[in-house]
Structure 1
Amino acid sequence: MKTTKETNVTLELEEESHLPEFRKKLQEAFAIAVIETFGDCDDEPIPSDKDVQESFDAPGAVVYHILQDGKKVGGAVLRIDSETHHNSLDLIYVSPEHHSQGIGLSAWKAIEARYPDTVLWETGTPYFEKRNINFYVNKCGFQIVEFYNEYHSDPHMHRNGCEDDNPLPGGDDFFRFEKVMKKKGLNN
């Protein structure tokens, strides 16, 4: 059985001037699963620069560095709705050299602690990303609530009405996850 060391993980708000570096590190981390599953990927980054920028610019977006003992080891992009408390984890990554050390789970716990009024968290991942699916379901307690595919389209996938300029290998097959934190009207 693999053991992981205890991690001293914290979150730090990202400065706007560092977003290009953040995007590059995120795309490097995401490319690993694509390459492992489909072989060498095109020259286009995954997720696309446009998709990452849309996450940065979304209403309620908050961008964090994930720090371990003060050193940058990953990041997360959240969307926080202070009215409904239905929040979204748009993007999260841990740099590949820090995988399998418990950093992702510690970061997720830090995110939950930072937003204790959250009623519901939502996120998604491509169907082929087994590592992410395991992380969300078996580590963080999310449930798969929807599977977007050719028979059931994601209503948010093509917001601008045109085809994605940089589709993922394997198509637009995605799982949508939810984690219920609090039931309305109950004191948890």
Structure 2
Amino acid sequence: MTNDPITLAPARTDDLAAFKRELQEAFAVAVIAQFGSLPGGGPIPSDDGLDASIAAPGAVALRVLRGGRPVGGAVVRIDAATQRSALDLFFVSPAEHGRGLGHAAWRAIERMYPETRIWETHTPYFEKRNIHFYVNKCGFKIVEFFGPQHPDPHGPGPDDLPGGNEGFRFEKVM
């Protein structure tokens, strides 16, 4: 492992197709490991859902780079007026897992947006690795649990994710 620093750069228009494919491949690893296959055989998130996240007001698609080489990415939504921002999508290439790159990338995102006072993100219930990462590594707190009795009003539909669409909402106060 080299000691190249993690940097962030806006995803280029000519790189968005690769960015989206890599994100979907990274998300698929956990779903397949837990459930054996992707629901409906399609990518997670769907192409339409991913396009909507990237095009949302205030959204910025970021490449996570190490030594100038893409190793992951993020889609953040920045709201300078309220100083509440969201980490909508975040991934590190599965080949790069376990090297501290996710934590370094998250710290770089925090430094890039110092005006943000509260960060929010979500993860599915079955994604224990993500829960550990956000709570124990990045300092988020679980503030809401979504399930059949309390569905996420902004989340996936009932058939979009395996595991009953149960998940957590996290916040980090800076």
Once residues 137 and 47 of structure 1 are traced to their aligned partners in structure 2, the CA distance between those partners, rounded to angstroms, is 23
Moved over 4 A (4+): 4-7
Q: 1:48 to 1:26 in 2, by over 3 A?
A: same
Among 102, 105, 108, the residue aligned to 1:104: 102
The alignment-based identity, stated in percent, is 54
1:25 correspondence with 2:22 = yes
Residue-pair matches, total: 173
What is the CA RMSD across the aligned residues, in angstroms? 1.5
TM-aligned CA deviation for residue 51 of structure 1: 1.2
Unpaired runs of 5+ residues, structure 2, are: none
Unpaired runs of 5+ residues, structure 1, are: 182-188
Find the counterpart in structure 2 of residue 122 from structure 1: 120
Once residues 6 and 72 of structure 1 are traced to their aligned partners in structure 2, the CA distance between those partners, rounded to angstroms, is 15
Once residues 141 and 24 of structure 1 are traced to their aligned partners in structure 2, the CA distance between those partners, rounded to angstroms, is 29
Q: Deviation string for 1:21-52 (max 9, x for gaps)?
A: 11100000000100110012242001111111
Once residues 100 and 121 of structure 1 are traced to their aligned partners in structure 2, the CA distance between those partners, rounded to angstroms, is 24
Contact 1:123-1:177 within 8 A present in 2 as well: yes
Contact 1:79-1:89 within 8 A present in 2 as well: yes
Q: Deviation string for 1:104-163 (max 9, x for gaps)?
A: 0000000000111111000000000011001000000000000010000111126xxxx5
> Does 48-57 or 136-145 show the bigger shift?
48-57
Relative to the length of structure 2, the TM-score reads 0.94
Kindly report which structure 2 residues correspond to 1:1-188, keeping only aligned pairs within 5 A, or say none: 6=3, 8-41=5-38, 42-157=40-155, 163=157, 167-181=160-174
Look up the SS of the partner of 2:139 in the other structure: coil
Q: Which has the larger radius of gyration?
A: 1
